[in-house]
Amino acid sequence: MPIVLEKLTHIYQQGGPVATTAIEDIDLVIDDGELLALIGHTGSGKSTLAQHLNGLMKPTSGRVLLDGRDINAPGEDTRKLRFQVGLVFQYPEHQLFEETVYKDIAFGPRNMGLSNEEIDGRVRSAMDMVGLPFEEIKERSPFEVSGGQMRRIALAGVLAMRPRVLVLDEPTAGLDPRARDLLLKDIQRLHMEGTTVVMISHAMDDVARLATRIAVLEKGRLVMEGLPEVVFGRFEELTGMGLDVPQGCQLARRLRELGGPEIPDCYLLESLADSLAAFLKGGGGDAA
């Protein structure tokens, strides 16, 4: 049941004087259970691509297939589909509106037409998934909790719909390090429990920690795609596009320039540390 993008193209204000091509000819398969990181410079079309995954935006040409069915085909119920592909926007806390945390998280399930018991169960488990204490904050206003909690309430609002695929647009932007860490752990746990995750991010260290596969967009085109070690191995190309690389890779590169060892999997801090330790123990320390 993967999501398949076929020759996906979106042009804003087509035919108008300021027509801009946001994404062009994108072929991409999002497999079940993977955690795909979507990276690219600001304006590279990441968010536009994300909004095609649940039918919020219609492609100018090309198709989006979910379970082999074109989601934009006439007669498809896109509203039903949106419950399967949950989209969490940038700064999702800006969409909170209800009087209580409970009601806000219940908004999605309520729109699905579920029974009250079912909704209650889902709100509890969604809050549990993102580490929010149910009894403590369910009756509080979503506007009087901390920024990190607001972000997690918004995430719970999408999770309560139990989507099979979770699309996150820069989930950690603007969070302090602690809140960011907690949120990343939640995302990782969701992924481990079987949810397919698509995550847009500028933070390469986050990507290095979580992603099972990386897709790189530049100027609306898919320019690179593959396992993290492959993508982060193409250091020059990434920096050439104005993108960061994980700190581990930057360190490994500097060491190599100074005559140090070749370090595989430098994007993972653990393997970086292991390689370095092995190198130093092996007596190569003098060379560096």
Partner 1 sequence: MLRDITLGQYYPVDSPVHRLDPRTKILLTMLFIIAVFLASQLYLYVFILGFLSLSVYLSRLPARMIIRSIRPMRILLVFTFILNLFFGTGETALLRIGPVIIWQEGLLNALHFTLRLVFLVMGSSVLTLTTSPVTLTDGLETLASPLKVIKFPAHEMAMMMTIALRFIPTLVEEADKIMKAQTARGADFTSGNLMARARAMVPLLVPLFVSAFRRAGDLAMAMEARCYHGGEGRTRLHVLKIGRGDYIAYLAMAALYVLLLLPRWL
Per-residue burial over 120-132, b = 16 or more CB atoms within 10 Å of its CB, e = otherwise: eebbbebbebbeb
Residue 157 is a binding residue for partner 1 (CB under 8 A): yes
Point out which span in 31-39, 105-113, 244-252, 270-278 binds partner 1 (CB under 8 A).
105-113
Point out which span in 27-35, 75-83, 127-135, 267-275 binds partner 1 (CB under 8 A).
75-83
Q: How is residue 63 written in tokens?
A: 């198709």
Angle, vertex CA 39, rays to CA 33 and CA 40, nearest 5: 155
Point out which span in 35-43, 79-87, 220-228, 262-270 binds partner 1 (CB under 8 A).
79-87
Among 64, 96, 129, 268, binds partner 1 (CB under 8 A): 96
| Pattern 27-56, partner 1, x by CB under 8 A | ------------------------x--x-x
Burial of 233 (0-12, 13-18, 19+ CB in 10 A): middle
Among 95, 116, 146, 239, binds partner 1 (CB under 8 A): 95
Cβ-proximal residues to 156 (8 Å cutoff; 6+ apart), any chain:
105, 123, 126, 127, 129, 130, 132
Output 92 or 248, the one with its CB closest to partner 1.
Answer: 92
Provide the binding-site residues for partner 1, judged by CB under 8 A: 13, 51, 54, 56, 79, 82-83, 86-87, 89, 92, 94-97, 107-108, 111-112, 143, 157-158, 161
